[in-house]
């Protein structure tokens, strides 16, 4: 039937207009479909990504004097444990941490003495370094503030058995 309409109007400009209109409708549909797919899969994925966390503030390091703790057994001292620690603090708080170094050393000494007494930092006769780090992190947070101390770096642990 369509062929009959086109044959009847062989020289008509209407034939070109109808073909042009159908082509424009198909092109518009394809453009709409492409736009919809772009918004559905590309734009939504970019919106769903969580925002990046703010950058970590610059840090500075404060070296603490070595802490020597005796591990006391049933009748005598069984071993000495020496721990060398460095604190990672916010760079703008480093002078305050340096000024409080005696308080930090005292807190570390008290914490390690208590932990050696109740043997919470020992696995058998071996020092449990993650437990030491956790206890010192807590002690430093109490002295300086948990938001100032970023990390406690346990550098050296030496055990001397007697």
Helix 129-144 / helix 101-117 crossing angle, nearest 10 deg = 140
Assess contact for 93 and 144: CB atoms under 8 A.
yes
pTM strictly above 0.85: no
Distance, in Å, from the CA atom of 159 to the CA atom of 38, rounded to the nearest integer, reads: 64
Question: For residue 23, what are its two tokens?
Answer: 């082509």
Indicate whether 151 pLDDT > 60.
yes
Distance, in Å, from the CA atom of 97 to the CA atom of 149, rounded to the nearest integer, reads: 9
Indicate whether 7 pLDDT > 70.
no
- For residues 106-132, average pLDDT: 89
- For residues 49-55, average pLDDT: 79
Distance, in Å, from the CA atom of 41 to the CA atom of 36, rounded to the nearest integer, reads: 9
- For residues 70-81, average pLDDT: 86
Indicate whether 160 pLDDT > 70.
yes
**Proportion of the chain above pLDDT 70, given as a percent:** 88
Instruction: Tell me the Ramachandran region of residue 102: left when phi exceeds 0, alpha when psi lies from -120 to 50, beta otherwise.
Output: alpha
Indicate whether 2 pLDDT > 70.
no
Output the pLDDT for position 3: 56
- For residues 68-97, average pLDDT: 90
Question: For residue 69, what are its two tokens?
Answer: 């703790």
Output the pLDDT for position 48: 67
Residue-averaged pLDDT of the chain: 85
Instruction: Provide the pLDDT confidence category of residue 110 given band limits of 50, 70 and 90.
Output: very high
- For residues 26-38, average pLDDT: 87
| SS3 category, 3 | helix
């Amino acid at each position: 039937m369509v062929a009959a309409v086109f044959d009847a109007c062989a020289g008509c400009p209407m034939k070109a207009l109808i073909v042009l209109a159908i082509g424009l409708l198909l092109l518009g549909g394809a453009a709409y479909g492409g736009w919809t797919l772009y918004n559905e899969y590309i734009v939504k994925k970019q919106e769903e990504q969580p925002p990046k966390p703010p950058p970590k503030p610059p840090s500075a390091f404060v070296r603490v004097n070595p802490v020597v703790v005796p591990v006391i057994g049933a009748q005598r001292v069984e071993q000495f444990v020496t721990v060398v620690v460095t604190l990672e603090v916010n760079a703008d708080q480093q002078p305050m941490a340096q000024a409080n170094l005696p308080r930090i050393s005292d807190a570390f000494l008290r914490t390690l003495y208590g932990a050696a007494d109740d043997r919470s930092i020992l696995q058998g006769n071996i020092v449990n370094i993650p437990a030491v780090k956790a206890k010192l992190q807590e002690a430093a947070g109490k002295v300086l503030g948990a938001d100032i101390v970023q990390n406690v770096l346990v550098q050296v642990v030496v055990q001397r058995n007697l």
